[in-house]
Amino acid sequence: MENILWQHIQHLKNSVPLIHNITNYVVMNNTANALLAAGASPIMAHAQSEIEDMVTICQALVVNIGTLDEYWSMSMINAAKKANELGKPWILDPVGAGATSYRNEIIAKLLELKPTIIRANASEIMALAKVSNLPTKGVDSTAKSNEAIEAAKLLTKEFASVVCISGETDIILGKDQKLSLKNGNALMAKVTGLGCSASAITAAFAAIIEDKFEATSAAMALMGVCGEIAAKNSAGPGSLQLNLLDKLYNITENEFITHLKIGE
């Protein structure tokens, strides 16, 4: 598995896929930089007058609802529809799922469009299952990844999506597949938007790898390993943000293979 994931990472750097991001204001700069560092080419665009045209020229789409509003939500929905029409992969990052009824309403509409991949933390995954009226237990804002597995499985079944629950352990669930990754560092939670970067990099791999379970696994492995190495050399979250971008750019096969921790 390690070798397959590393090959995917190399493949990304050689492919430079164009990734269309409809994402939140907080993370746009870091998301663009993370995509560039990992080897993809980012586009950020949201105007209703060009959203379908942008989906058409890109190879994958990220829909991240962090700072959604009425206008942007319509763009997200139209973009996801266009991606489906063209058979292009699109990734849903349901930031703040469960926080407000408006957010849940938009999430419900996006889920109906069957995201290729969903990446979120445990609480958000549990909120998604609830929004979709799937028979799951309630949302727990302090939930750990393994507490959300039941909800993630329901989502995988209902929407045919690959689901990634990110956290101290990242759990990736496909139709009949499951992978746990145990990389990362607690300091990563002190930098805003690393989850958003992970979603964007997931889109980059999904753009070039047919198997979306493997694409998601490669993205989460790359982010986890680079974040872990970067954190070791960081005095705080400011340094970590910089070191992570550097490491996404210059990680070697040896670093990747020796640090990767695949769980049960």
Residues that bind a second copy (CB under 8 A): 24-30, 32-33, 36-37, 42-50, 53-54, 57, 66-71, 96, 99-103, 189-193, 234-239, 241-250
In angstroms, what is the minimal distance from the CB of 197 to a second copy?
12
Task: Please list the residues that pair with 163 across neighbouring strands.
Answer: 118, 173
For tokens 């408006």, what's the residue?
Answer: 102
**Is residue 103 annotated as involved in ligand binding?**
no
Comparing CB distances to a second copy, the nearer of 133 and 142 is 142
Comparing CB distances to a second copy, the nearer of 31 and 217 is 31
**Is residue 166 annotated as involved in ligand binding?**
yes
Determine the distance from the C-alpha atom of residue 112 to the mean position of all C-alpha atoms in its chain, rounded to a whole number: 18
Comparing CB distances to a second copy, the nearer of 44 and 134 is 44
In angstroms, what is the minimal distance from the CB of 162 to a second copy?
27
Which distant-in-sequence residues (6+ apart) come within 8 Å of 98 by Cβ?
A: 104, 123, 124, 126, 127, 130, 131, 139
Round to whole Å and give the CA distance between 15 and 262. Answer: 26
**Is residue 1 annotated as involved in ligand binding?**
no
In angstroms, what is the minimal distance from the CB of 143 to a second copy?
16
Which distant-in-sequence residues (6+ apart) come within 8 Å of 258 by Cβ?
A: none
Round to whole Å and give the CA distance between 62 and 25. Answer: 14
CB 10 within 8 A of CB 176: no
In the chain, the largest separation of any two C-alpha atoms, in whole Å, equals: 47
Comparing CB distances to a second copy, the nearer of 73 and 136 is 73
In angstroms, what is the minimal distance from the CB of 178 to a second copy?
30
Comparing CB distances to a second copy, the nearer of 3 and 250 is 250
In angstroms, what is the minimal distance from the CB of 166 to a second copy?
17
What three-state secondary structure class fits 178?
A: strand
Binding site for ATP, residues?
Answer: 119, 166
Binding site, residues?
Answer: 44, 119, 166, 193
Binding site for substrate, residues?
Answer: 44, 193
